[in-house]
Amino acid sequence: MKSFNIVIFIYNAAMAFIVTRISTKPYRFKVESGIGEPNALVLKLMPGNHFVAEHVSFKYFTKVNIRRLGVLIKHEKLSWV
């Protein structure tokens, strides 16, 4: 599936992530760190346009950061189709 890059600021440092859609209905995304973090985070888009995290393994993924990632992923939605 098609992947795209997202950069957010965590702890005042820019962090790059590679986001890959892994399923549809419900939409699920695998989020991998560009800095070689060994594990991935899976985000699931729920009805009502909010995201929940599954398989969280990154220490810096707070609810706020997950929400920020979700907003950036939604902006990429036009390129999914």
What is the residue extent of each domain of the chain?
Answer: 3-79
User: For residue range 33-48, what is the model confidence (pLDDT) as tens digits?
Assistant: 877 666 788 888 888 8
Taking residue 73's Cβ as centre, other Cβ atoms within 10 Å add up to 21
Q: In sequence order, which ranges of 1-81 are alpha helices (DSSP H)?
A: 63-75
Could you give the CA distance from residue 69 to residue 78 in angstroms, rounded to a whole number? 16
* Contact predicate 30/1, CB 8 Å: no
How far is residue 35 from each of residues 14, 73, 80, measured CA to CA in Å?
11, 19, 25
User: For residue range 2-56, what is the model confidence (pLDDT) as tens digits?
Assistant: 788 888 887 788 888 888 888 877 788 988 887 766 678 888 888 887 888 887 7
Question: Whats the size of the chain, residue-wise?
Answer: 81
